[in-house]
Structure 1
């Protein structure tokens, strides 16, 4: 696999390439995941003429680091910067869409706030934009029930049996970076200027959708799309085909 050089080590990435891409999505995954579990999204985007670039963040997948420790938000953002440059080099002038899931959505929102001219649009899913109670207590272990994440049998199997995926780790580094984000979002997220689609499961037990509903009412460029009965890992839920179709439609409207 190709890799991105960074001071924390070599971060491995995947590129699902469309034959004649009309847009490129730059994707950051969430806690416990890696790029390999997003092949269905990659194929769906490719079928619609959209490239998908995704990186195994630090502490995840094939990239180095302590299990579950992404490093700082700036480290993840630097990986997305490098992916963006690769996409630009592969197809100069192509419209770029920044996308992230869960923790990846937090980094993506930082990037949309800091670089509003770089991306045509943004996509976030399972975004924990307000404090998560489980990360605020004194217990530093995070152990997720796979059924909080999805009802999709393939994905649950991956979370349980894939040696590159996991549902438990020390939560201190994650909580530290999320706390930084929560401190910023209250004041700055309403300034979001880039057209952004928020995709969320109605039954998400990790990042309740109510916070996104409130922000979507306040922020004109932010559009919320809820999926009834779906849980946190909405991109790999039983409705993953419908979710991919919504992403394709949104990219088409903004490219």
Structure 2
């Protein structure tokens, strides 16, 4: 396994920080989209574990987050949903066609973005995606931390007038993981700046609402060979994103190859839970991907179906 850092320039000239965990014996590739107030170097041993199993991971810091922020005014400056989805497309397109099966995964806010991209992304790129994964996707905020409806309404109205106005939305560190070391690291990580813009926050809430209310439809035809393959995982004690909302959304998805994995008692960052749990999660992800890549004895679905 080796790593490589770089920068990707999107169509409007913005530069996004990228990092790749390269597998020495490559069996599959995974593009990963991080969540709110996060960055791609904060996923602990998750990416190295996948790489060691033959899965090359391509990750990046989204616009407005992590090392893609060069100056303070760029914090949370994600742009509207069309811009967010276009950035994801821009990262994926150069990887297609891929010599090995290509997958797309997102965590939390990034999980919702992946689900939205499945529905709204360009067909000429989606046809190269073997499967999609969403870790604790943001379909709805957990009831214990859900903002008052009036606050959301006022924020959206203000966002139309002052889209770039920044607002700090702190995620309580004690909710991210049961591991106290992870909690401490998250609270002290300056790249996890908790700062959104009114436009970006409104877009995040709107994407979640569209998924929760059924406006975003996931059906067959969103992936390689005209097949949609979807994995969703969620911890039952996640107090950031609603487990129930994720499960209800998943149950509305009418595709043949789908799996919902429940992690009883786990928190928000499944990849950073304590002890053997983080390894269990990484192994679950690797198995699902490799099972669909012909690398664990399962049939390797032919690209001739395209």
Aligned twin of 1:143: 170
Three-state SS of the structure 2 residue aligned to 1:203 is: coil
Aligned twin of 2:112: 106
What's the CA shift for 1:174?
A: 3.8
What's the CA shift for 1:246?
A: 0.7
Larger Rg: 2
What's the CA shift for 1:29?
A: 0.3
* Long gaps (5+) in structure 2: 156-166, 221-227, 294-306
| Residues 24-64 of structure 1, C-alpha deviations (whole Å, 9 max, x = no match) | 11001001111111241111111110010001011211102
Q: For 2:79 and 2:182, how far apart are their aligned partners in 1?
A: 25
Q: For 1:45 and 1:208, how far apart are their aligned partners in 2?
A: 26
1:68 to 61, 67, 76: 76
Matching of residue 230 in structure 1 with residue 230 in structure 2: no
Q: Retained in 1: the 8 A contact 2:119–2:217?
A: no
Aligned twin of 2:147: 134
Q: Retained in 2: the 8 A contact 1:155–1:236?
A: yes
Q: TM-score, normalised by structure 1?
A: 0.88
Cα separation, partners in 2 of 1:174 and 1:192, compared to 1, 3 Å: farther
Q: TM-score, normalised by structure 2?
A: 0.74
What's the CA shift for 1:240?
A: 1.6
Q: For 2:217 and 2:84, how far apart are their aligned partners in 1?
A: 23
Range moving further from structure 2, 49-58 or 218-227: 218-227
Cα separation, partners in 2 of 1:201 and 1:125, compared to 1, 3 Å: same
Q: Retained in 1: the 8 A contact 2:136–2:246?
A: no
Matches within 5 A, 1:155-174: 155-166=182-193, 168-170=194-196, 172-174=198-200
Aligned twin of 1:152: 179
Three-state SS of the structure 2 residue aligned to 1:38 is: coil
Q: CA RMSD in A?
A: 2.3
Cα separation, partners in 2 of 1:137 and 1:143, compared to 1, 3 Å: farther
Q: For 1:216 and 1:196, how far apart are their aligned partners in 2?
A: 9
Three-state SS of the structure 1 residue aligned to 2:214 is: helix
What's the CA shift for 1:20?
A: 2.2
1:94 to 96, 100, 118: 100
1:5 to 6, 9, 34: 9
Three-state SS of the structure 1 residue aligned to 2:289 is: helix
Q: For 1:123 and 1:246, how far apart are their aligned partners in 2?
A: 11
Aligned twin of 1:125: 135
Aligned twin of 1:254: 292
Range moving further from structure 2, 102-111 or 73-82: 73-82
| Residues 152-174 of structure 1, C-alpha deviations (whole Å, 9 max, x = no match) | 234223212222223x3246334
Q: For 2:150 and 2:52, how far apart are their aligned partners in 1?
A: 44
Three-state SS of the structure 2 residue aligned to 1:129 is: coil
Three-state SS of the structure 2 residue aligned to 1:134 is: coil
